[in-house]
Amino acid sequence: MDVVFVLYDQMTALDIVGPYETLAGHHDVQPLFAAAQVGPVRCDNGLTLHADVGFDDLSTADVLVVPGSSRWLRALDDEQLIAWLAAISPTATWTAAVCTGSTLLAKAGLLTGRPATTHWAVRDALAAHGADVRTERVVVDGDVITAAGVSAGIDMALTLAAILWDEWTAQAIQLALEYDPRPPFDSGSVDKAPADIVAALRNAFTSG
């Protein structure tokens, strides 16, 4: 099973690394990192990942995983990336997006009229591109699965693992990761965080 992890300049590392660590260790999975061209791809906070294959050399995928970016407005203007997503997604059994990655799928015309989630700060932008925006942490609709902000990519990948294999396998992966979050603060949701923090982050995200 080819699981293609999409890389592009200024993407958010955890959006792709979380799902990668969740899915790539399964014996059925052949992980591939794809980008516009083979070589290093720099993430928005400086981490560099490496693309194994270029977009032009990859025309199909069994599973497609699309990360978001704190600079998502810039990514929306990447015509090569958007066109490639529009072309390859129909070949995939599953297309998954994390955080603002769902805005890329929407720009590619893949979420029109379909329920999807994204980072809370860009829900309006996702709706403007035709999606039926939901607030759940993970949304499954047909062959598309979307996750809310950054850390929700792990939840999304565990949900996908249960679909691809079974719940026992997904739970085993969760235990192997020791994914049992107990955050020190109760501010991980826009509904619970202090208003001044919400305002500051909304401004940061919507300014691209």
By residue count, the chain amounts to 208
Q: Is the dihedral of CA 34, 112, 14, 74 positive or negative?
A: positive
pLDDT tens, position by position, 94-126: 999 999 999 999 999 999 999 999 999 999 999
Structure tokens at 184: 């020190």
CB 46: neighbour CB atoms within 10 A? 7
Q: Which of 51, 105, 44, 36 is nearest to 69 (CA)?
A: 44
Q: Taking 70 as the threshold, does the pLDDT of residue 208 lie above it?
A: no
pLDDT tens, position by position, 24-35: 999 999 999 999
In this prediction, residues 144-166 reach a mean pLDDT of: 98
As annotated, the active-site residues are 99
Radius of gyration of the chain measured on its C-alpha atoms: 16
Instruction: Return the domain boundaries, the chain.
Output: 2-181
pLDDT of 205: 86
In this structure, CATH architecture of domain 2-181 = 3-Layer(aba) Sandwich (3.40)
Q: What is the 3-state secondary structure (H, E, C) of 73-133?
A: HHHHCCHHHHHHHHHHHHHCCEEEEECCHHHHHHHCCCCCCCEECCCHHHHHHHHHCCCEE
In this prediction, residues 77-89 reach a mean pLDDT of: 98
pLDDT band at 137 (very low <50, low <70, confident <90, very high): very high
pLDDT of 11: 98
Q: What is the pTM of this model?
A: 0.96
